[in-house]
Amino acid sequence: MQTEVFEGKLTTRARMRKFGVLLTGPGMLWLIVFLLLPTIFLMVLAFAQRGSYGSINWDFSFENLKRLVGFSSFGWSPDNLLILWRSLKIAVVTTVLCIAFGLPMAFWIANHGKSMRAFLFALIMVPSCTNLVIRTSAWMTLLGPDMFPADIARFFGIIGAGDSLYPGSFAVYIGMVSSMLPFAVLPLYTSVERLDWGIVEASRDLYAGPIRTFYHGILSQMMPGIIASVILTLVPSLGMYVISDLLGGGKYMLIGNLIQQQFGAAMDWPFGAMLGSVLIICSVVSLIIFQRVGGKNFV
């Protein structure tokens, strides 16, 4: 194979098309065996039933879907739908915050010299190398009642005398945003690097004010990067439950927690599969909605 490359046989476009496809074989096989088949299995399993002692009873019905929307032998309860709604809300808010904080960071980094940029990226990426649980535990300590962030918040009257910043929704968002931000910044930075500033100048030249120039001159060009950022933040955020579990003080039950319960303590794999399938569908649908709404004019 290697000699062929050196003889230039694989390097022509036509040959690459013809034989290069073979090289995608292992990757394709991997995806089919470990992603596509399990997903199909999951979606089939979602319509089976829990047997005794956690076994699977291949008795197809819509029972799990009914349970998911809240119907049980005790009547209807909104609990599951609330969990789903809360998961979506946290993921969307986290994504919006990451983009909002990531945009200025991307510009700020791009404004530095080459070596400084590498250093700043290292600063951003290093925390992601730490284990998620350890990082989150650090936030638990830092946001505790005796630490300085709480003192500052108390000084400004944001929280009462005996209160702390953790646990609560504030702590959850802090944890979510800080762990997702690096993944939002990277694609944003790439698109800042590629900006054609001539278009920004053109916008100013054509009498546009700052807001109009930002929208048409900068955002329009960055849209592919923003979409990549949203995908990289929204999808993991939807499934994330460790952070909300730890920083929310157990009060923030998310769909991730619920799924984990089914595959763990409750030993109800079919219901877990139904929840998982719904989560996948939610992710895909929200991305489609985002592309239709946000990307309509751009891509």
Partner 1 sequence: MKSFDLQVKNVSKSFGEKAVLKGIDVFIKDGQFVTLLGPSGCGKTTLLRIIAGFEKADAGEVILSGEVISNKSPAHRPINTVFQSYALFPHLNVFNNIAFGLKSHKVPKDEIEKRVNAMMEMVNITDLKNEMPATLSGGQKQRVALARALVNEPDILLLDEPLSALDANLRKKLQVELKEVQKKTDTTFIMVTHDQDEAIAVSDRVLVMYQGAIVQDGTPEDVYEHPVNRFVATFMGECNILESERIADKLAKVAFGELVLEKDPQWAATTEGANAGKCCGGIAIRMEDIHVCTPNESFENNVFDARILERIFRGDYWELIAELPGVGNAESLKLRVMTDPDEIYNPGDNVKLYMEPQYLQVLDD
Residues that bind partner 1 in the complex, under the rule CB under 8 A: 196, 198-199, 201-209, 212, 216-217, 220-221, 223, 297-298
**Closest distance of CB 226 from partner 1, Å:** 12
164 vs 229 by CB, closer to partner 1:
229
Kindly state the smallest distance separating residue 92's Cβ from partner 1, in Å.
24
Q: How far is the CB of 198 from partner 1 (least distance, A)?
A: 4
Specify the residue, 163 or 196, whose C-beta has the smaller distance to partner 1: 196
CB-CB neighbours of 141 under 10 Å: 10
Task: Collect all residues with Cβ–Cβ distance below 8 Å to 50 and sequence separation of at least 6.
Answer: 56, 57, 267, 268, 269, 270, 271
CB of 209 to partner 1, least distance (A): 7
What is the Cα Rg of the chain in Å?
24
Rounded-to-integer distance, Cα 205 and Cα 212, Å? 12
The helix/strand/coil state of 47 is coil
Q: In the bound complex, what is the minimum distance in angstroms from residue 228's beta carbon to partner 1?
A: 17
Q: How far is the CB of 216 from partner 1 (least distance, A)?
A: 6
The end-to-end CA distance of the chain, in Å, is 39
* CA separation for the pair 257, 160 (Å, rounded): 30
Residues in CB range of 109: below 8 A, 6 or more apart: 117, 120, 121, 185, 189, 192
**Cβ 231 to partner 1 shortest distance, Å:** 19
- Cβ-based nearer residue to partner 1, 170 or 214: 214
Closest CA to 254 of 131, 88, 98: 88
With contact defined as beta carbons under 8 Å apart, do 56 and 262 qualify? no
- Residue with Cβ nearer partner 1 (97 or 227): 227
Choose between 1 and 211: whose C-beta lies nearer to partner 1: 211
87 vs 203, beta carbon nearer partner 1: 203
- Cβ-based nearer residue to partner 1, 51 or 294: 294
Contact 141, 222 (CB under 8 A): no
